[in-house]
A = this chain, B = another copy of it.
Amino acid sequence: MALSTRRMATTAVINGERLWSALMAMAEIGRTPAGGVRRLALSDEDRRARDLLVEWLREAGCAVRVDDLGNIYGRRDGDDAGATAVVCGSHLDTVPTGGRFDGVLGVLAALEAVRAMRDADLRTHRPVEVVCWTNEEGVRFAPAMLASGVVCGRFTVDEAYAARDQDGRTFGEELRRIGYLGKPEHRMRSAAAYVELHVEQGPTLEEEGAQVGIVEGVEGISWGWADVTGRAAHAGPTPVGDRRDALVAASRIVLALRALCAELPGVRATVGRCEVVPNAINVIPGAVRLSTDLRARTADLLATASRRLEEVCAAVARDDRVEVRAREFWQSPPTPFHPAVLSAVADAARDLGHTTLRLWAGAGHDAKYVADRHPAGMIFVPSSGGLSHNEAEWTSKDDCVRGASVLLGAVLRLAAA
């Protein structure tokens, strides 16, 4: 089997020029003046991107179907018609000022993989499916990874349909409007394996000089609010000793969370939002809301970080004579990927001679929800300067080709079994 797999992997080869030209053509849809991409989920731009993908999948000989979440599947049959498929893909939607690689690389590399198989007239044992998930980013319709979440049992379809954008339009209405409301029976029901290629969105591969990341899992995330209540008062006549300044207290929490990262290696804590009331230059802040974002690879470590956050808030409340209420409002547990998928990725990278690094994904991906139900894994390629969710996002052509080649190799290994 190993021998025959290796023969197949060498017979189907990624066409780097074709992959790159597909990436650049897709980047024209929703292109921003600064050279980024704005292609919000279920927008007209998303529809045009989908139409182009469907056209390309059909040209590559795939049978295309769309499910009731708008997820698009392009299936290439294998020798065993009854075998469960190996699925690979990602998403085409972007954040409002996004880049050309986040999501789209995983979809178009999967397309290039089936194009390469077709060029080589290569037959796999299992079917191979390219998937494009709807609304991964979650910026138009919260939460993120909504459609893969429904397919994998995390949300109900009604929850997805009811999600509203800022203008009050629902996911369900917009899905119908752009013509991508398909059938429930078209959903991915099973998968022998799922592999997603994605840009790292962080600086680690570049800093470590590794070409390909073998992603061991998705870190657990805990999102919460820390609400600090002090006492608003005039900045002029109020003596310092009498103040119960909510921003001073909130600043202590921000710094304590930073210190917590040093104290608990493997934990990352971020305060991304800070809202001050009344937010006037000459009024001592009466209330501050901070967001808290904790990430770690194990449930134990994440729980320890949450407990430390609570302790920090209690200490600040006591020392600064304010009230602090910290509460988690969303959690995604740590999700290790499947050993068989990791092995297929590692073997493919090794055979191609690429340098690799094992790392964990700090951000959510559709692969996370898929992994709750099916054997799944991910491949990362470097993000220049670690930049992502940014119009200047960049991954070199060589890196894209290396990632697509590893994806193809992994898929062929998994589809052979």
Contact = CB atoms under 8 A, between A and B. Distances in A.
Interface of A: 200-204, 207, 219, 221, 223, 232-240, 242, 245, 247-248, 250-252, 254-255, 258, 261-262, 268, 270-276, 279-285, 288, 291, 293, 295, 361-364, 386-390
A291 B258 CA distance: 23
A247 B271 contact: yes
A204 B239 CA distance: 8
Given A247-B254, A283-B389, A362 B236 contact: yes
A387 B281 contact: no
A194 to B, nearest CB: 20
Contacts of A235: 268, 270, 272, 293, 295, 362
B233 A386 contact: yes
B261 A272 contact: no
A248 B240 contact: no
A171 B276 CA distance: 29
Contacts of A251: 250-252, 254-255
A236 B276 contact: no
B202 A219 contact: no
B234 A201 contact: yes
A380 to B, nearest CB: 9
B255 A203 contact: no
Given A223-B281, A240-B261, A293-B282, A202 B272 contact: no
Most B Cβ at <10 Å: residue of A204, A255, A281 = A281
Most B Cβ at <10 Å: residue of A271, A363, A390 = A271
A31 B201 CA distance: 55
Contact of A279 (B245, B273, B295, B386): B273
B234 A363 contact: yes
Contacts of A252: 251, 255
A281 B258 CA distance: 15
B234 A202 contact: yes
Most B Cβ at <10 Å: residue of A254, A363, A390 = A254
A290 B54 CA distance: 50
A204 B248 contact: no
B239 A203 contact: yes
A316 to B, nearest CB: 11
B248 A258 contact: yes
Given A202-B236, A233-B386, A235-B293, 5 more contacts: A203-B239, A223-B282, A251-B254, A272-B285, A282-B363
A236 B201 contact: yes
A388 to B, nearest CB: 6
Contacts of A288: 274
Most B Cβ at <10 Å: residue of A237, A242, A270, A389 = A237
A391 B204 CA distance: 54
A280 B284 contact: no
A288 B387 CA distance: 20
Contact of A237 (B239, B279, B363): B363
A162 to B, nearest CB: 22
Contacts of A295: 235-236
Given A237-B363, A295-B236, A361-B237, A280 B272 contact: yes
Nearest to A200: B237
A233 B268 contact: no
Nearest to A281: B291
Nearest to A284: B270
A232 B248 CA distance: 23
Contacts of A291: 281
A312 to B, nearest CB: 13
Nearest to A279: B273
